[in-house]
Amino acid sequence: MTLATRASDFDTASHVATLDRDGITALKGAFPPDWADRMREDMMTAFWAAIQRPGGAVGRGPRRWYVEVHPQDIDGFVDLVTHPWVVAMSEAVLGPDYQIVEIGFDVPFQGARNQPWHRDFPSPAETYEGRHITSLAFNLTGVDVTEDMGPFEISPGTQYDDGRAWKHEMFPDKAEWPRFAERAVRKFPQRGDISCRSALTVHRGTQHDSPIARPVLVLGVDRPGAGHAELHDMMVTQAYHDALPQPVRDHLVCSIVEELVPVTQKHDIEGLVMGAD
Q: How far is Cα 66 from Cα 104, in angstroms, rounded to an integer?
A: 7
Q: How far is Cα 227 from Cα 217, in angstroms, rounded to an integer?
A: 21
In a domain, 100, yes or no: yes
pLDDT at 1: 40
In a domain, 159, yes or no: yes
One digit per residue, pLDDT tens: the chain, 277 residues?
Answer: 445 466 677 899 999 999 999 999 999 999 999 999 999 999 999 999 999 998 889 998 899 999 999 999 999 999 999 999 999 999 999 999 999 999 999 999 999 999 999 999 999 999 999 999 999 999 999 999 999 999 999 999 999 999 999 999 999 999 999 999 999 999 999 999 999 999 999 999 999 999 999 999 999 999 999 888 777 789 999 999 999 999 999 999 999 999 998 887 655 555 565 555 5
In a domain, 51, yes or no: yes
Q: How far is Cα 257 from Cα 70, in angstroms, rounded to an integer?
A: 12
Tell which residue, 217, 202, 180, has the closest CA to residue 102.
Answer: 217
Q: What is the pTM of this model?
A: 0.93
In a domain, 246, yes or no: yes
pLDDT at 6: 65
pLDDT at 150: 95
In a domain, 65, yes or no: yes
pLDDT at 267: 54
In a domain, 260, yes or no: no
Total domains present in the chain: 1
Residue 180's domain comprises: 23-214+232-250
In a domain, 268, yes or no: no
Q: How far is Cα 230 from Cα 27, in angstroms, rounded to an integer?
A: 29
In a domain, 14, yes or no: no
Domain of 51, CATH number, reads: 2.60.120.620
The one-letter amino acid at 109: F
